[in-house]
Structure formats: C-alpha cells, structure tokens
Structure 1
C-alpha cells in the first residue's frame, strides 16, 4: 500500500512539474489554498467530488485513475528523515517552543475540544 502511494505521488508531482505551475497558481485556478493543493498532490488530503473538475481544469493531464485514487481517504504518512530538512526542523522547533502557549490560548478562547 505504501509503495502504491509513492507511485501515485510521483505521478502527481510529475504532472504538476509538467504543468509548470506553482502550488499558488494551482490554488488560484481552483479556488483552494496552496497548502491544500500541495496536500492533495501528496495524497495527504481527500479530494472532494466538487473539487475534482477544478483540479482537472488546472491540470488537464490528470487522469481518471489518479482522480479516483485522490478521492479515496488518504493514507497519511511522512518520511521520518523529513525532520532533517532545515525548514521542517525549524517549523518543528517553533511548534515545540510555542506549542504549549498556543494550546493554552486556543483552550481559553475556544475550549478544549471535548
């Protein structure tokens, strides 16, 4: 299953690269956020039926098979080596440094979610 995800993500990334469009450009064309588009193309988010035609318009080479795969619930995962990337490391460090305070403020303002 994990290898299948790797293959699908590879195909999706190749389509994005072939289009020459950035995540921000794709977001503008689809009415989504750039992070959500990136999550879709990395199979970390679920493609909703109403979003599929917009994504296909932005990436015309997107096949029916890939759209069907993207419509399935994602198998969220990450590469454990990702933490070695300097940007990801610093983001993780920021969450670890500010996380407790941010959590307290969220709980104060919105409750604890229970």
Structure 2
C-alpha cells in the first residue's frame, strides 16, 4: 500500500495512486490515513533512536513483528500498546488507539517485489521452494507450514571469510492436510 524509505535517519512515506492497489473495503482515505499514521510511528521510532531489534526487545516480540506493528501490518494488542507507548514516548494516544482498533490489511503491493531485498528473498524462496516443500513433507507428512502461527526473525552472522551474512528464520506450525470425511464435517450441508 505504501513505500517507506529512510534517508539519513528521516523516515517518510510515499503514496502514489499507481502504487496503491484497489482494495475492497478500503477507501483511499483509509489508505492515506494508514500511510500518515505509519509515517508518524516511524518518526517516533527515529526520535526514540531505536533499532527494530531494540524495539522488539522492549515489546517482547520478534524484530520482524515489531516492524510489522510499526508498518501497520499487525494489530497492536493492549498489553503491547503500553510497552510501545513507553518505548516511543512521542507517539500520540490517538495513533496507539487506531493501531489497536483497526484491522490491518495483510497484503502487499506487487511493486514491492521490485525492491532488491524483497526480490532476493522472494527469489531464494522460489528457487529453494520445491526442496523446502519436499523436506517438510518428508519430515512432517502431507501438509504446509502455517503463516499465521508463525515467527520470523532476521539477524546477521559472520561467514568463514569474515563477511557479514543475513540469517532469516521462519518458524511456522505444521498444518497437516486432512481427509474431508462427511461424518467429521460439523457444518450443515448447503444441500440440506
């Protein structure tokens, strides 16, 4: 819905009608309000001089979840809201309230795939996707990794030649596919 860029520690949100997808139930006002709120929250993060790792530590969440909260891609819960206000003291009560009361639009604009970090992550997942699926099926059975009951953490390590290397950990609950037996279906049939 928006592109967020940081230049010399100053965050800003760029909105363009060409970049904002048509979202059912989301008016351009909602998208604009969310973009403006995201900018204010990012500004509060910059003013607090916090990295996503340090913010995550204060909130008790992973660094990627902290980023999702800041970018409006996760709903702020009351227990984390108090911690967020303590960590970002310039954040307004209204923005904190809105972050708790609005349901996030968990989607992405396909334009984001043109951003090199996002594209390379996507490329790695698609390149290794078949191997990942095969290993998951071998070790767990017929099913998938949940993206809902899911944790993601991003960090770095040092390689054997002293180079900095990026480490992304996906930790999702395994969801087995089921046989859809009539006797197990508790919903009334639409044919009744």
In 2, Cα distance between equivalents of 1:79 and 1:100? 25
Aligned residues: 114
User: Which range is displaced more, 6-15 or 103-112?
Assistant: 103-112
How many angstroms does 1:101 deviate by? 2.4
Written as runs of structure 1 = structure 2, the 5 A alignment for 1:11-50 is 11-50=40-79
TM (normalized to structure 2)?
A: 0.55
Larger Rg: 2
Which contiguous aligned blocks of 4+ residues in structure 1 show a shift greater than 2 angstroms?
76-81, 103-108
Aligned equivalent of 1:76: 106
- 2:89 equivalent to 1:51: no
Equivalent residue for 1:5, pick from 19, 28, 34: 34
- 2:96 equivalent to 1:62: no
Aligned equivalent of 1:102: 132
Structure 1 stretches lacking a partner, 5+ long:
none
How many angstroms does 1:107 deviate by? 3.8
How many angstroms does 1:111 deviate by? 4.4
In 1, Cα distance between equivalents of 2:45 and 2:33? 19
| CA RMSD after TM alignment | 1.6
In 1, Cα distance between equivalents of 2:84 and 2:57? 11
Structure 2 stretches lacking a partner, 5+ long:
1-29, 144-174, 178-192
- C-alpha contact (below 8 Å) 2:40/2:91 kept by paired residues: no
How many angstroms does 1:96 deviate by? 0.6
Q: Which has the higher contact order (CA 8 A, sep 6+)?
A: 1
3-state SS in 2 of match to 1:57: helix
